[in-house]
Amino acid sequence: MKPRFSKPLALWCLVTCAWTTHAATTELNVAELQAAIAEGSLSATEIVTAYLERIETVDVNGPATNAIIETNPAALEIAGALDAAFAESGPVGPLHGLPVILKANIDTGDSMVTSAGSLALADHRAAEDAHLVAKLRAAGAIILGKANLSEWANFRSTESVSGWSSVGGQTKNAYVLDRNPCGSSSGSAVAVAAGLAPLAVGTETNGSVVCPAGINGVVGIKPTVGLVSRHGIVPIAASQDTAGPMATTVQGAALLLDVMSGPDEDDDATLLAPPTLPKGLDQANLEGVRFGMVRDYFGAGSHAPTDAAFEAAAARLTALGGELVDPIEVGLDRDMSAAGYQVLLYEFKDGLNRYLHEHRAGFTTLAELIAFNDAHAESVMPVFGQEIFIAAEATGGLATDAYREAVAGSVTKMRGLVAGVMDAHDLDILIAPVNAPAWKTDWVLGDTFSLGSSSIAAVSGYPSVVVPSALIKGLPVAIAFIGRPYTERLLIDVATLFEQQRGAFPTTRFLRSMEP
């Protein structure tokens, strides 16, 4: 299915010349856009117009990053209403006039589709906004469109290709187009990296915010599970699912997180969060902050340039006054990974069946989706199958001993390991590489994940802030700051200082390939 847009497409020869149109606007970060709105040099209408043109010229034509599934046909109307409100009484909230792209598994109670990237839900329009979307709108944000994703948030097949969906096709890496954008929030990350929106929201179960952010050179925040409501998001696993913000700067992502966060009676996990998060740093350096350098993440030592980038990032922290404890081994093992996968299978079946029943999306069970995929295999499964769907359907309920044992062997165990190692070494933050340089997209062999550290924060449900740290042969790699539950403010403050010490990060070049 072709992506749907509210504007006609331009010819390639015109697109190349049009890249400079509104370039100054789409190159501004969130703080700069806020300042321009406040001083009256930019209106919400002008900002939205600039980004819609950017989407048409860069995402659809031009480099054709294919990050956006559809734009919001009401975006300009909403922007006009915000401009009128601003003229009368000033900004309506902290995100006044700022466009936000949402991953296409997040409900909007408007004409846009919540498809999860699947043709099965290609006509599913939610009756109401997800809780986080309602908060964004109340803060003055403009929902600009929906981003492509790995279909069903990369939880349909063991042979999946990240960034591909049967609705949106293949999203491309923002730095080198034949490289993979990582999944499953691929479109959200590419949208920010390519200047299609200043802000985007992704979702993560294990790596789906942090990996796309790291591989596409943007900031991503994976919050503590329960800090942001999951109500109105197509689920995978209640023990690990969370939405998370993306932006070009830590400050921009933090602002989006502040707005998205808060209690929701429709998500019990949000009611467990403290009413006020613990404070962050009270000084402009890292003196007294202890960092543990994780050395047993997946693929540790397998890629020398990534190792070198990690060492350089750690040196920046010491230059800021931080104390490094090295090495730190969390205790990750294959048994924990196997148990964690079982938890996802059980919770996926339970959560998805609930979502389908509540939303009257044309299907009521996972079993019906499996049948749909089989019946439409040519269009839905031309690249990979649905082995995970079938495995999930074969599980029992959440009341079974097998499920409880899997939780004990993964979620509970990981929380104990993280707390134990941080207590034993008096650590404030764990640090680890997020990703190696992006692999070439391959529809035959699938994804090639050579290293990653996302499981530490994902399985425990703890927060992680990802900041680009270096380019390796033109491809971004990043560092993750991982903390105890609800320590987002500390992680954000530390990440901000790291970002400042690093300096401006190289922007996308949209290279077609790294090969001659």
| Nearest partner of 15 among 55, 45, 69, judged by Cα | 55
Domain count, the chain: 1
The answer to whether position 5 is within a domain reads no
Q: What confidence category does residue 22 fall into, taking pLDDT thresholds of 50, 70 and 90?
A: low
Give every CB contact of residue 497 below 8 A, 6+ residues apart in sequence. 281, 284, 285, 286, 320
Domain for residue 379, yes or no?
A: yes
The CATH number of the domain where 380 resides is what? 3.90.1300.10
Query: Measured between alpha carbons, how far is 458 from 480 in angstroms, rounded to an integer?
Result: 12
By annotation, the residues acting in catalysis are 103, 184, 208
For residue 18, pLDDT beyond 80: no
User: pLDDT band for position 515 (50/70/90)?
Assistant: confident
Per-residue burial over 458-480, b if 16 or more Cβ lie within 10 Å, else e, is bbbbbbbbbbbbbebeebbbbbb
pLDDT tens, position by position, 153-181: 999 999 999 999 999 999 999 999 999 99
Domain span holding position 379: 12-502
User: Does the structure show a pLDDT above 70 at 366?
Assistant: yes
**Does some domain include residue 292?**
yes
Mapping DSSP to helix (H, G, I), strand (E, B) and coil, where does residue 147 land?
strand
Q: What region does 130 belong to: left with phi over 0, alpha with psi -120 to 50, or beta?
A: beta
pLDDT tens for residues 104-155? 999 999 999 999 999 999 999 999 999 999 999 999 999 999 999 999 999 9
- Give the 3-state secondary structure of residue 317: helix
Buried residues in 117-144 as b, exposed as e (16+ CB within 10 A): bbbbbbebbbeebbbbbbbbbebbbbbb
pLDDT above 70 for 52 = yes
The verdict on residue 7 lying in a domain is no
Alpha carbons 350 and 358: distance in angstroms, whole number: 12
Residue 18 lies in a domain: yes
Lowest mean pLDDT among 287-296, 409-418, 507-516: 507-516
Which pLDDT tens digit goes with each residue over 236-252?
999 999 999 999 999 99
Q: Which residue has the tokens 């992502």?
A: 253
pTM: 0.95
Per-residue pLDDT reduced to its tens digit, 191-214: 999 999 999 999 999 999 999 999
Distance between CA 450 and CA 90 in Å, rounded? 49
Residue 360 forms part of a structural domain: yes
- Per-residue model confidence as pLDDT tens digits over 29-40: 999 999 999 999
Is 508 a member of any domain?
Answer: no
pLDDT at 8 (0 to 100): 33
The band of 516, judged by pLDDT with boundaries at 50, 70 and 90, is confident
The answer to whether position 306 is within a domain reads yes
Chain centroid to CA 107: how far? 16
Note the pLDDT tens digit of each residue in 68-85: 999 999 999 999 999 999
